[in-house]
A and B are shown apart, each in its own frame.
Chain A
């Protein structure tokens, strides 16, 4: 008779094998990284440029320049360009942060020669037709007004503002007046100055024949680097942002958005990796303390979690949730209770072991498949880290003990260090 009360044995891998990219720097300075892996003949091509902005205004202009990169070139309008990618089943995506601009092409590998030349051409020749700019501004304004109706959005932007300052591209609160800055001339100028090919990092991942890789290499190598590299601009960040509580009113909201957190550091800090373990225990997985207490025990929310988000020069830690409007105070009380508990008490061995196994599993999933491998590499490359960083990380997960966890929590995550934003 099968005894169903006995858990099957488990094991956690001692070492994990990671596929690394083949990296080469082309003569014109472009860095090409290739991860040829996986089964399906599909690929992802990501081009990454530095954003180089110091303030919200220049970030708004850079964002528009980047979003409208496919809005027209001489002789081809936005529709023609979109159709050229859609026809081959390719998908073009743009993303921007105050640190980096990403242009990502998803494509069936055999069609890359049909789509790449146009992709490179639009970056060089985007000419920003006024009609497309007008549409963009209309869309952005309407999106902003809709976002203001969302308590989660209000909590997020006001929290970012509280830690980075309203003059920072990380912390500004969007406002209609910003969109006046989006003029065709400034977009043209921004495109000219800010897509510096010699600082471009390219990550090509997926399963592809050699001729596709050579095609990418040849096309990138043929780019004539004419624009000069701008000086390294640092985003403006308030040195000592005020620690405070903010209450953003939104009439008739049945839930409130909550953010509790603080400014922190990025991956270069010696305690960053250790804090990711502390964060996982607190709010980084379904069985975390915040979820167990505030969702699974109290039923105050559909979801609550915490995260550490690094950027180029600093980073943030925060707890985020949307809770019933009638239980905001009890939910906040439990949030601070859990932070305080991490500082005051050692985490039980059993809980810590579970988290260690879980994090190792997350790591394995995070390198499964070529696109995941590419993202892992990107997470190193953009902070100028090497693969030994990941060895140290896996080692730290294995070695970290309850005393260290408690010390890290008390040093960085004490309730007194937190800003608090409630919107609703």
Chain B
């Protein structure tokens, strides 16, 4: 149970405070409700590039990192398809430095051609390092446009292609900031050794003077219902064949999210899971296999992927994977299996609550979903799922016409 208090500033910025006196530190989290899904299809990768530019200095503070490090603090950020998140932890007595830094870059950035040029290069190198220069690194560059034909989830956070990043200009950066980076589109949280009164005073001092900004409407083209199986075969310079299957499923806020998450856990969470036991251990068809749910804000996908043992026909491996998918779509899971995955979730939630940065992120994340109180309801929402709901959810999702399959085959054999 995470105790927290909340208040809203006059400019609309929502603030959440979890006072944890057992630590000498405080974590601050600032979530902006903008991700790759909000990008122009001809300028993909922009939200993530923008995240890099947020460290290039703000209107009154030439360097973000230096003062934070001088205060003994550390920070990082990430961007995904739905939102962009900035977090920092520092010794409690220096927390005002965090307010100073984060409020100034919410107020305005010091837009500079030089910073844009360097960060374009850095992000291009990130694209190469993580997506092009790793075996299997480009999987999602191909899988997303196979699964999504219309919705902006069809491109990854890093961007569809390097050229989009290279083409970014400063005017676009300024417009992006104006549209998405303001109190109305942000959520702020604090976790650690800070009480709500101190937090409120500091918020009023540093964040309240910032102009509210206009509410962002995410009017995105929704993905039409898929009506036939899709297939893509790629031949790549990788040592082993791999298979990737995706099925459309509900959004994070849909009622059956919890059943969907648990069913993927039954398939592949831990060494006792069905896919590990059947496909790796017993049948010796795969060297690795996993099933998971992306859990996006808009309608999402369930993924099953595996790397095939050398010498095994990928169609044979796929048939065994399909047999497991058919089984969970046609037979109820056992009571013990269900208890097992629920206890694993309970354990994961408890371990997550140990970390102040994680607690701060969760407060913002669940508020973005609609209500920060959801944070404390997760265990119950998972525990209410029964075997019947898992079966009906599985049989809804795992239909052939709802699937896309990518064969990622080795050129080297």
Which A residues fall within an 8 A CB radius of B?
2, 4-5, 7-13, 37-42, 70, 78-79, 82-83, 85-91, 106-108, 111, 131-132, 134-135, 138-139, 142-143, 145-146, 149-151, 252-255, 285-287, 295-303, 322-324, 353-355, 357-358, 360-362, 364-365, 368-369, 371
- Chain B 115-146 per-residue mask, 1 if CB under 8 angstroms from chain A, else 0: 00111111101101110111110000000000
| Residue B73 interfacial (CB < 8 Å) | yes
Partner of A354, one of B70, B121, B128, B269: B70
A248 to B: closest C-beta gap in Å: 14
- Inter-chain contact B133/A40, CB cutoff 8 Å: no
Asked, given contacts A364-B25, A371-B354, whether A150 binds B307 with beta carbons under 8 Å apart, the answer is no
A402 and B17 CA atoms in complex are apart in Å by 41
If over half of A's interface residues share one DSSP class (helix, strand or loop), that class is named, otherwise mixed; here it is mixed
- Inter-chain contact A90/B67, CB cutoff 8 Å: no
Asked, given contacts A42-B347, A82-B271, whether A255 binds B129 with beta carbons under 8 Å apart, the answer is yes
Q: In the complex, which residues of chain B have a beta carbon less than 8 angstroms from the beta carbon of A255?
A: 125, 128-129, 133
- Inter-chain contact A302/B125, CB cutoff 8 Å: yes
Asked, given contacts A255-B128, A299-B122, A322-B129, whether A365 binds B209 with beta carbons under 8 Å apart, the answer is no
B330 to A: closest C-beta gap in Å: 22
- Chain B 302-320 per-residue mask, 1 if CB under 8 angstroms from chain A, else 0: 0000010110000000000
A132 and B238 CA atoms in complex are apart in Å by 26
Asked, given contacts A2-B205, A149-B239, A358-B70, whether A41 binds B350 with beta carbons under 8 Å apart, the answer is yes
Q: In the complex, which residues of chain B have a beta carbon less than 8 angstroms from the beta carbon of A358?
A: 69-70, 72, 74
Asked, given contacts A78-B271, A79-B277, A254-B132, whether A302 binds B122 with beta carbons under 8 Å apart, the answer is yes
| Residue B90 interfacial (CB < 8 Å) | yes
Query: A10-B93, A38-B22, A138-B310 are known contacts; what are 15 more A-B pairs with Cβ within 8 Å?
Result: A2-B206, A8-B100, A12-B72, A42-B354, A78-B281, A79-B272, A82-B271, A89-B340, A139-B288, A150-B134, A354-B70, A361-B71, A362-B74, A365-B25, A368-B356
Q: In the complex, which residues of chain A have a beta carbon less than 8 angstroms from the beta carbon of B240?
A: 142, 145-146
- Chain B 167-194 per-residue mask, 1 if CB under 8 angstroms from chain A, else 0: 0000000000000000000000000000
Partner of A89, one of B70, B126, B343: B343
Q: In the complex, which residues of chain B have a beta carbon less than 8 angstroms from the beta carbon of A301?
A: 122, 125, 129
Q: In the complex, which residues of chain A have a beta carbon less than 8 angstroms from the beta carbon of B353?
A: 39-40
Residue of A nearest to B69 (CB): A358
Can you list 8 A-B contacts with CB-CB less than 8 angstroms, sorted by A residue number? A10-B72, A11-B94, A82-B270, A91-B347, A285-B74, A300-B125, A354-B69, A360-B72
Residue of A nearest to B93 (CB): A11
- Inter-chain contact A7/B121, CB cutoff 8 Å: no
Q: In the complex, which residues of chain A have a beta carbon less than 8 angstroms from the beta carbon of B123?
A: 302
- Inter-chain contact A369/B354, CB cutoff 8 Å: yes
- Inter-chain contact A323/B125, CB cutoff 8 Å: yes
Asked, given contacts A11-B93, A82-B271, A354-B66, whether A150 binds B125 with beta carbons under 8 Å apart, the answer is no
Q: In the complex, which residues of chain A have a beta carbon less than 8 angstroms from the beta carbon of B122?
A: 295-296, 299, 301-302
Asked, given contacts A79-B277, A86-B270, A360-B72, whether A135 binds B284 with beta carbons under 8 Å apart, the answer is yes
Q: In the complex, which residues of chain B have a beta carbon less than 8 angstroms from the beta carbon of A5?
A: 60-61
Which B residues fall within an 8 A CB radius of A?
20, 22-25, 59-61, 65-67, 69-74, 89-91, 93-94, 96-97, 99-100, 103-104, 107, 117-123, 125-126, 128-130, 132-136, 205-206, 209, 237-240, 269-273, 276-277, 280-281, 284, 287-288, 307, 309-310, 336, 339-340, 343-348, 350-351, 353-356
Q: In the complex, which residues of chain A have a beta carbon less than 8 angstroms from the beta carbon of B103?
A: 4
Residue of A nearest to B276 (CB): A82
- Inter-chain contact B71/A10, CB cutoff 8 Å: yes
If over half of B's interface residues share one DSSP class (helix, strand or loop), that class is named, otherwise mixed; here it is helix
Question: Which of the listed residues B90, B96, B272, B356 has the most CB atoms from chain A within 10 Å of its own CB?
Answer: B272
- Inter-chain contact A322/B23, CB cutoff 8 Å: no
B281 to A: closest C-beta gap in Å: 6
Asked, given contacts A7-B97, A302-B129, A368-B23, whether A86 binds B272 with beta carbons under 8 Å apart, the answer is yes
Residue of B nearest to A144 (CB): B239
Residue of A nearest to B347 (CB): A89
- Inter-chain contact B284/A297, CB cutoff 8 Å: no
A323 and B353 CA atoms in complex are apart in Å by 37
Residue of A nearest to B72 (CB): A361
Q: In the complex, which residues of chain A have a beta carbon less than 8 angstroms from the beta carbon of B343?
A: 87-89, 108, 111
A233 and B129 CA atoms in complex are apart in Å by 40
Q: In the complex, which residues of chain A have a beta carbon less than 8 angstroms from the beta carbon of B347?
A: 42, 89-91, 106-108
Q: In the complex, which residues of chain B have a beta carbon less than 8 angstroms from the beta carbon of A287?
A: 65-66, 69
- Inter-chain contact A38/B354, CB cutoff 8 Å: yes
B110 to A: closest C-beta gap in Å: 12
B74 to A: closest C-beta gap in Å: 7
Asked, given contacts A87-B339, A145-B240, whether A361 binds B350 with beta carbons under 8 Å apart, the answer is no
- Inter-chain contact A145/B20, CB cutoff 8 Å: no
Residue of A nearest to B23 (CB): A368
Partner of B350, one of A42, A131, A252, A371: A42
Asked, given contacts A11-B93, A88-B343, A145-B239, whether A361 binds B73 with beta carbons under 8 Å apart, the answer is yes
Residue of A nearest to B357 (CB): A365
- Inter-chain contact A8/B280, CB cutoff 8 Å: no
A298 and B350 CA atoms in complex are apart in Å by 43
- Inter-chain contact A4/B100, CB cutoff 8 Å: yes
Q: In the complex, which residues of chain A have a beta carbon less than 8 angstroms from the beta carbon of B66?
A: 287, 354
Residue of A nearest to B351 (CB): A42
- Inter-chain contact B20/A39, CB cutoff 8 Å: yes
- Inter-chain contact B310/A142, CB cutoff 8 Å: yes
- Inter-chain contact B125/A324, CB cutoff 8 Å: yes
A38 and B356 CA atoms in complex are apart in Å by 12
A25 and B130 CA atoms in complex are apart in Å by 47
A90 and B24 CA atoms in complex are apart in Å by 29
B83 to A: closest C-beta gap in Å: 22
Q: In the complex, which residues of chain A have a beta carbon less than 8 angstroms from the beta carbon of B100?
A: 4, 7-8
A135 and B89 CA atoms in complex are apart in Å by 43
A256 and B93 CA atoms in complex are apart in Å by 43
Q: In the complex, which residues of chain B have a beta carbon less than 8 angstroms from the beta carbon of A149?
A: 134-135, 237-239
Residue of B nearest to A90 (CB): B347
B128 to A: closest C-beta gap in Å: 5
Residue of A nearest to B273 (CB): A86
- Inter-chain contact B340/A83, CB cutoff 8 Å: yes
Q: In the complex, which residues of chain A have a beta carbon less than 8 angstroms from the beta carbon of B69?
A: 285-287, 354-355, 357-358, 361
Q: In the complex, which residues of chain A have a beta carbon less than 8 angstroms from the beta carbon of B120?
A: 299
Q: In the complex, which residues of chain A have a beta carbon less than 8 angstroms from the beta carbon of B23?
A: 368-369
A41 and B205 CA atoms in complex are apart in Å by 37
Q: In the complex, which residues of chain B have a beta carbon less than 8 angstroms from the beta carbon of A368?
A: 23-25, 356
Question: Which of the listed residues A254, A301, A303, A365 has the most CB atoms from chain B within 10 Å of its own CB?
Answer: A365
Q: In the complex, which residues of chain B have a beta carbon less than 8 angstroms from the beta carbon of A111?
A: 343
Closest 5 CB pairs of A and B: A361-B72, A299-B121, A89-B347, A82-B271, A83-B272
